[in-house]
Chain A
Amino acid sequence: MHIPDGYLSPATCATFYGASVPVWLTAGRRVKKVVRNRYVPLVAIGAAYSFLVMMFNVPIPDGTTAHAVGGVLIAVLLGPWAAVIAVSIALLIQALFFGDGGVLAYGANCFNMAIVMPVVGYAVYRAVSRHVSLTSTRRAVAAGLGGYIGLNIAALCAAVEFGLQPTLFKAADGTPLYAPFHLSQTIPTMALAHLTVAGGVEFVLTAGVIAYLQRANLPIMRINHGSVAETDAELELTRKPGWRWAVVGLGTMIVLTPLGLIAPGGAFGEAAPADLNLHKYGLSAVPSGLRHYAGFWHNAFFSGYDFSNDKHPVVGYLLSAGVGILTIGVAILAIFAAVRVLRSRGPRRPDLVEVRS
């Protein structure tokens, strides 16, 4: 995907330099803030590593080999901002010292492979690996998936850059001055190559490295995953109770409370003995047990969800609802407090070890 000089018009090259510079500046600031002085060797050697990752040959089914870009791998290991700088420097060394990839096209190459690829891939990785422990298989698969999608979006960007050239830049007789293919040709071609082989290679390398580090060198994963629980069992311990969903559900029900005011008829099984349709059930009188126990409790605060003999039915209903919610809430908090007190007397859970490098 390294675009050489000569394929893109100078205007396109300038545009992508313009688009990349603010991202580089932001990335530099963000990385510096997180790792301070240490960032110089960390990012430098990350860039050297990024350069070398492009040299690792991965076997593909037809018996030959292909190589990956590794932008998302660096993003998972060092964070997306550090990846932006590391991959940009790897591309600079390739363009300037080894003559691979154009010098004018460097901005566009960086935009595709050093900005879009790590950022998109890392977003996919984060979305798929949410609430997953550091050693989980799903984390390795998420990294691979991030690599696959990141590479394909980067390839799409390159295809759009190529495909716009014949439309925007041509001579008076229609001769395309730069890359000659239209969007309708570049996008399917790039998609075919990257959705199949190149994407697969990216997936294999990214997921393979993460899986290896998970079993062989877990502390190194802490560089970018400071406080993620190590195993699934620890994750269970640190997992916060599902408060948010409970609050959303209860809140919805509270908001819907006034529906009871407009609902017609009565609820099944809640009618007073006097309102029973005895004929419907084939009875001749209210059963004696029912009559006896119906009036068993006379001391309700809001008898019939009301307090002033139905003078203000709406106010009475809403007031009873409010007091009810409050009472239940206090009860739940009391139970929680009791559980916490009991737990703190029991055996303590092992404290999570925080490794920071």
Chain B
Amino acid sequence: MTSTATPAWLLDSEVGLCPCGCIGTRKKANLVDKTIAGSASLLRRAMFADDTSAQPGLLQRVDPRIKVLSLVGLLVVTSLVHHIPVLLAMYLATLPLAVASRLSLRFFVKRVWLFIPIFTGVIVLPAMFSFITHGHIVVPLGHWFGHRVGLTSQGLRSAGLIVIRVATSISLVVLLTLTTPWVELLAALRALRVPRMFVLVTGMAYRYLFHLLDSVTDMYTARKSRMVGRETDVVAGRAFVGASAGAMFGKAHALSEEVYSAMIARGYNGNARTMNRFRLGVQDLVWVTACLAAAVVVLGWDHAIGR
């Protein structure tokens, strides 16, 4: 993967499939290691998105307002489609878009399909069986208390629908987030009439998120540097987590006071102002037309196959 600014070692991913660490390997990792790894991975993802959104790709050139509107529209279309072949076609169509936007195809596919089997697969697997989704048994698996048990056609179709729909939806959102710098994303939200205060607060939260993340990493690194061997005391571990989260709140509050003073010093009087410099170009018109055409084709096809 070509990267503009982020050092390669930061992009080396550890085996952890969910950023929050709630799913993935059940490795009995130390809570300190896990939190440090978690914050590093968050930073890595943010920096990665910064890098990719700065590439000269197809979607990077589209006006952010148009991009947000069109991708949300496509998400709605995805959720309205009721047939697997149609959804599959939609998913496949996201792949050339990713390539045209200078995203690595391997990364783009991996990002979606690493998440699916763990989260969606486990949830959807039981739904294929006749005791969850009743219907015509296509793969009989014998009898259980006198009832025929097996995979039903309805269950298989339902599972397929969920998996491919989740894959398409995630791909669309990833396309949006990796091709739009966060500042532009916020400005697009403002242009789409999201209340100004809400946008201001979100932008500030995103900016200070990384500042506070630094404090978390410092705190846990300091703890790690004082540890010998493995920490096994669960009670002490919990006390440490409570104390560090409490100390974080103290720091966060002090920070908010400082930010407020700084805002006042720069003339903040309760009104937020945003710059609005977006201008629609030819590529935006082309993109909107393409999205509308895609939506019409997809919904028409889905309707033609029948309910």
Residues from 88 to 103 in A contacting B, C-beta threshold 8 Å: 89-90, 92-93, 95-100, 102-103
Assembled-state Cα–Cα distance A185/B124 (Å): 13
Given A59-B31, A208-B246, A216-B247, the answer on whether A174 and B154 have CB atoms closer than 8 Å is: yes
Q: Is B269 an interface residue (CB 8 A)?
A: yes
B246 touches A217 (CB 8 A): yes
A5 touches B238 (CB 8 A): no
Given A37-B268, A98-B177, the answer on whether A181 and B127 have CB atoms closer than 8 Å is: yes
A41 touches B169 (CB 8 A): no
CB < 8 Å: which of B78, B135, B241 contacts A174?
B135
Give every chain A residue within 8 A of B195 (Cβ-Cβ).
28
CB < 8 Å: which of B35, B161, B185, B243 contacts A97?
B185
Q: Is B104 an interface residue (CB 8 A)?
A: no
Q: Is B49 an interface residue (CB 8 A)?
A: yes
Q: Is B11 an interface residue (CB 8 A)?
A: no
Assembled-state Cα–Cα distance A32/B270 (Å): 10
User: Closest residue to A92 on the B side, CB-wise?
Assistant: B202
Assembled-state Cα–Cα distance A42/B259 (Å): 9
Given A67-B21, A93-B209, A98-B19, the answer on whether A180 and B127 have CB atoms closer than 8 Å is: yes
Q: Is B192 an interface residue (CB 8 A)?
A: no
CB < 8 Å: which of B158, B159, B237 contacts A59?
B237
Q: Is B224 an interface residue (CB 8 A)?
A: no
Q: Is A191 an interface residue (CB 8 A)?
A: no
B174 touches A99 (CB 8 A): yes
Mark the stretch among A7-15, A111-119, A267-275, A278-286 that contacts chain B: A7-15
Assembled-state Cα–Cα distance A37/B238 (Å): 36
Number of chain B residues close to chain A: CB under 8 A:
96
Give every chain B residue within 8 A of A48 (Cβ-Cβ).
205-206, 208-209, 211-212, 252
CB < 8 Å: which of B31, B159, B165, B307 contacts A180?
B159
User: Closest residue to B259 on the A side, CB-wise?
Assistant: A41
Q: Is B223 an interface residue (CB 8 A)?
A: no
A97 touches B46 (CB 8 A): yes
The contact string, 1 if C-beta is below 8 Å from chain B, for chain A 30-65, is 001000111011111111110111111111110111
Q: Is A351 an interface residue (CB 8 A)?
A: no
A97 touches B206 (CB 8 A): yes
Give every chain B residue within 8 A of A179 (Cβ-Cβ).
162
Give every chain A residue within 8 A of B114 (Cβ-Cβ).
none
B260 touches A41 (CB 8 A): yes
B161 touches A52 (CB 8 A): no
Mark the stretch among B1-9, B22-30, B287-295 that contacts chain A: B22-30
B173 touches A99 (CB 8 A): yes
Q: Is B61 an interface residue (CB 8 A)?
A: no
B244 touches A56 (CB 8 A): yes
What are 23 A-B contacts defined by CB distance under 8 Å?
Answer: A4-B120, A5-B78, A5-B79, A5-B165, A8-B79, A40-B272, A44-B202, A44-B204, A49-B252, A59-B31, A61-B234, A64-B26, A93-B202, A171-B82, A171-B307, A172-B307, A176-B158, A177-B82, A181-B132, A185-B132, A208-B245, A212-B247, A217-B247
Top 4 closest pairs, chain A to chain B, by CB: A208-B242, A212-B246, A5-B169, A44-B204
